[in-house]
Amino acid sequence: MKNLFAVITILSLVISPAVPVFAAEIATTGNQSSDFGGTGIWVQGLAGQANQRENKDYKAFQDNLMDYTIGFDRIMSPHVRLGGSFGYGYSNKNYKQNRTGFGSYGVNDHAFTTVLTATYDSIDLCESREKGKYSPEAVRNQGIDGWYVDSALGFTQHNYDLRTERFDFSPVMEVGKSDYHGQEYTVGMEAGYIFNFGEENLTHVTPYTSLDYGYLYRNLSKVKGFGVNDYKVKGEGATDLEQGFGVQLARSVVSEKLGTFIPYVKGEWLVAYIRDIQSQNRQRNSAAFGAGVIFLNKGHMTCSAGWDMLLQNRNLENVGYGKIRYDF
């Protein structure tokens, strides 16, 4: 109950139209002030594909991914933002079965996610707003050295649809189906320091580290369609704890007419301290690479597009995404 009260309190502070004094002072335009000064809203779309090749006990699969998210945040003090996001994700995972008597095997996942976020920037957010730097991307790429900490607490409700084909129970193909659910809890944190170089501090180098914990529980699954051979898969939970060590290199390119373009590249090594046998991914070492561009217009809009690749011994995942943000 205490945790529920804390969540409701945070959301009421973020959504409430009442503006802290320090934010209201810098949200004034002429003789009018915006009740939403210091608030940012954003939408993001994501699509990608993961491929895993067969090796020992690992089944080969192809997973098609997409995700849509809407979020918001608000400046609560000169250094702190609180926010939240709501998302829908879809995964279509098809396994390659090389066993006699088995046909295709696939799982669709319709997932709904809620995330609460809190960020801390050593760079003053209110002073940045006075300079026209509203979004986190603008604040952290304005040429001021500083550090940040991003944290998130999330919950995801998974709705699985399973379909499997088998020939070993009868001479003709039989199809088994199951609808079951899963609950996932995640806590994540990232901390980094921004170094700026060049005569005008237009080159930004950010070493960072991340730590992510997740627990996924899949409920009991009843596979029906095989008659007397219908079967159940008991519910099980899986825990993951993974840390990343990475660096991002960015460069601000200023256009007097359009705004600021910030292309970037990044690389990260990921190591799993805990990875249960029932986890979706049981490999302990991964490498992540990414590239993208951020565009800050001369007003309140921030647009970004990027591509990330996750590379493992038996798994390759590619994801592309786009994000649009408006700050009041």
Spell out the domain ranges in the chain. Answer: 2-327
Q: Give pLDDT, residue 89.
A: 98
Residue 131 CB contacts under 8 Å (≥ 6 apart), including other chains: 142
Strands 146-166 and 174-197: antiparallel
Q: Give pLDDT, residue 147.
A: 98
Fold of 2-327: Lipocalin (2.40.128)
Q: Give pLDDT, residue 44.
A: 98
Q: Give pLDDT, residue 55.
A: 63
Residue 238 CB contacts under 8 Å (≥ 6 apart), including other chains: 215, 216, 217, 276, 277, 278, 279, 280
Distance CA 116, CA 118 (A): 7
- What would the pLDDT profile of 37-52 be if each residue is shown by its tens digit? 899 999 999 999 999 8
Q: Give pLDDT, residue 95.
A: 82
Q: Give pLDDT, residue 241.
A: 96
Positions of the chain with pLDDT under 50: 1-21, 23-33
Q: Is 129 helix (H, G, I), strand (E, B) or coil?
A: helix
Q: Give pLDDT, residue 230.
A: 86
Q: Give pLDDT, residue 292.
A: 98
Q: Give pLDDT, residue 58.
A: 58
Q: What is the pTM of this model?
A: 0.85
Phi, psi for residue 150 in degrees, rounded to 5: -110, 135
Q: Where does the chain show beta strands of DSSP type E?
A: 28-29, 32-33, 39-52, 61-77, 80-95, 102-121, 146-166, 174-197, 203-218, 221-223, 231-233, 236-251, 253-255, 259-275, 285-297, 301-311, 315-327
